[in-house]
């Protein structure tokens, strides 16, 4: 008998029919002879609705009364755990719902972005031993003062992985509205391959490069405690035969079976960044430190950085930031110029970042060359480059985003051949 944690997101909990449909997935796992702990999100749109209610009374409620915003937002999951338990009971299972506090999900006191400090799960273990199906509220915990906290948008994934780690579950199934993780966004590349298995590391790089399947902190936690995660759909037809494993993508540590021959497993893009260039800054020790300290002081998060040294002891320094941060940079533009003697500050928000990700890069040379050549052949100019051990990212003109993603999927064989 295995212990499986099953997490259902907002779209899988959207209305009574969808909740029943999700409950059938729980039933299937129970019928297979396994123990199940269910973690759920609020019903689709509910967390937004609740937070908007708070902000309708005070637009600054998040800043002025974060404790109350958490009290408010946490009710979304409280509704859905009860509904899921009602569904399971009506199917003949003995099921009970538990809030974060009842489970013993302890967090720090940072309202709206709390971090889990420990999980006791005593109650869960006790109820499981009595043969019950437990339904746990995602997203919420309890701080040292006994106050309700929430852990940031989308954090029900985190709850599910944390519970899996605490209970040493055999697997953590994340049910969503897509049937796995794809090599590229199917809206751009309809033939993109579905990945049967990927490593935590690749998943993390994919998330930072634009993929929106799993919550980043959840993947980090899964990696830390070696929780095997599976992403699958609660919308697909269920096979009659309960012995058949449902299709999906397994996220795990790096098993040998991770395709030796695959260099690149995914192409991602982000289009929410902008490039800032400081023209002719003084090329002497300490300049970069001053600039990036000033930006950090203004909470600007910098991603890529490139410096070109020109003649005459002056350098151009370019970096990328999230587009909304441009406003903050423009406000301190003259301060930046004075600080490092820059002649000018140029802005370009018509860029996108394209990334190729794959653990295969670690052991194979030439991936970057292939990537640049494929883009070059299509007339796509590369403005900036950055690399990590398993990722190569380039900044290009925004208008080439889709062409670049398609080109690289072709280059690295990431599409299914059309039958
Ligand atoms: N309900 C929360 C949110 O919408 C948590 C989650 O869905 O994961 O952010
Ligand atoms: Mg989610």
Amino acid 309: pLDDT: 80
Report residue 236 CA to chain centroid gap.
22
Count of residues for the chain? 419
Amino acid 208: pLDDT: 83
Model pLDDT for residues 184-226, shown as the tens digit of each residue = 999 999 999 999 999 999 999 998 888 888 999 999 999 999 9
Pocket test for ligand 1, best of 8, 12, 14, 42 (most atoms within 8 A of CB): 42
Beta bridge partners of 281: 315
Amino acid 75: pLDDT: 98
Pocket test for ligand 1, best of 150, 155, 161, 215 (most atoms within 8 A of CB): 155
Residue 72 has pLDDT above 90, yes or no: yes
Amino acid 13: pLDDT: 98
Amino acid 3: pLDDT: 98
Give the mean pLDDT of 18-33. Answer: 97
Give the distance (Å) from ligand 1 centre to CA of residue 355: 27
Report residue 328 CA to chain centroid gap.
26
Cβ–ligand 1 contact at 100 (below 6 Å): no
Summary mean pLDDT of the chain? 94
**Protein residue with least CA distance to atom 5, ligand 1:** 154
Give the distance (Å) from ligand 1 centre to CA of residue 136: 13
Cβ–ligand 1 contact at 210 (below 6 Å): no
pTM of the model: 0.89
Give the distance (Å) from ligand 1 centre to CA of residue 184: 24
Which residues, 6 or more positions from 374, have their beta carbon under 8 angstroms from its beta carbon?
407, 408, 410, 411
Q: Model confidence at 259, in pLDDT bands (50, 70, 90)?
A: low
Give the mean pLDDT of 116-143. Answer: 97
- Where exactly are the structural domains of the chain? 3-252, 259-419
Cβ–ligand 1 contact at 8 (below 6 Å): no
Q: Which CATH superfamily is domain 259-419 in?
A: VC0802-like (3.30.2130.10)
Amino acid 284: pLDDT: 84
Q: Encoding tokens for residue 281?
A: 């800054």
As residues whose CB is below 5 A from the ion ligand 2, the structure lists 9, 154
Cβ–ligand 1 contact at 150 (below 6 Å): no
Annotation: CATH topology of 3-252: Carbamate kinase (3.40.1160)
Amino acid 151: pLDDT: 97
Amino acid 260: pLDDT: 60
Give the distance (Å) from ligand 1 centre to CA of residue 113: 12
Pocket test for ligand 1, best of 7, 8, 9, 10 (most atoms within 8 A of CB): 10
Amino acid 210: pLDDT: 81
Amino acid 368: pLDDT: 95
Give the distance (Å) from ligand 2 centre to CA of residue 177: 10
**Protein residue with least CA distance to atom 8, ligand 1:** 154
Cβ–ligand 1 contact at 155 (below 6 Å): yes
Give the distance (Å) from ligand 2 centre to CA of residue 199: 20
Model pLDDT for residues 281-330, shown as the tens digit of each residue = 988 888 889 999 999 999 899 999 998 887 777 889 999 999 999 999 99
Please tell me the number of the ligand nearest to residue 139's CA: 1
């Amino acid at each position: 008998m295995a212990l499986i944690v099953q997490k259902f997101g907002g779209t899988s909990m959207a209305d009574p029919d969808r909740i029943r449909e999700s409950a059938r997935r729980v039933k299937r796992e129970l019928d297979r002879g396994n123990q199940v702990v269910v973690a759920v999100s609020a019903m689709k749109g509910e967390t937004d609705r609740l937070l908007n209610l708070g902000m309708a009374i005070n637009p600054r409620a998040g800043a002025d009364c974060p404790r109350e915003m958490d009290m408010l937002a946490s009710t979304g999951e409280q509704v859905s755990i009860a509904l899921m338990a009602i569904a399971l009971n009506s199917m003949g299972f003995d099921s009970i719902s538990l809030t974060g506090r009842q489970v013993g999900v302890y967090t720090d006191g940072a309202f709206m972005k709390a971090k889990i400090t420990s999980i006791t799960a005593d109650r869960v273990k006790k109820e499981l031993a009595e043969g019950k199906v437990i339904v746990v509220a995602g997203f919420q915990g309890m701080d040292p003062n006994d106050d309700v906290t929430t852990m940031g948008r989308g954090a029900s994934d985190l709850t599910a992985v944390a519970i899996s780690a605490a209970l040493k579950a055999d697997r953590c199934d994340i049910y969503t509205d897509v049937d796995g993780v794809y090599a590229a966004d199917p809206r751009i590349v309809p033939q993109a391959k579905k990945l049967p298995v990927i490593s935590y590391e690749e998943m993390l790089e994919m998330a930072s490069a634009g993929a929106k399947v799993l919550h980043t902190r959840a993947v980090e936690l899964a990696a830390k405690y070696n929780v095997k995660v599976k992403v699958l759909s609660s919308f697909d037809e269920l096979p009659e035969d309960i012995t058949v494993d449902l299709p999906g993508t397994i996220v795990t540590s790096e098993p040998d079976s991770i395709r030796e021959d695959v260099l690149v497993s995914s192409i991602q893009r982000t289009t929410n960044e902008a490039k800032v260039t400081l023209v002719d800054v003084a090329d002497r020790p300490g300049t970069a430190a001053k600039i990036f300290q000033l930006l950090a002081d203004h909470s600007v998060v910098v991603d890529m950085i490139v410096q070109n040294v020109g003649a005459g002891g002056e350098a151009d320094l370019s970096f990328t930031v999230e587009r909304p941060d441009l406003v903050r940079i423009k406000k301190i533009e003259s301060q930046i110029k004075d600080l490092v003697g820059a002649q000018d500050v140029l802005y370009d928000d018509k860029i996108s970042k394209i990334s190729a990700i794959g653990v295969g890069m670690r052991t194979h040379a030439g991936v970057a060359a292939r990537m640049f050549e494929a883009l070059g052949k299509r007339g796509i100019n590369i403005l900036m480059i950055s690399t990590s051990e398993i990722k190569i990212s380039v900044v290009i003109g925004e208008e080439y985003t889709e062409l670049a993603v398609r080109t690289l999927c072709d280059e690295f064989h990431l599409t299914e051949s059309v039958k």
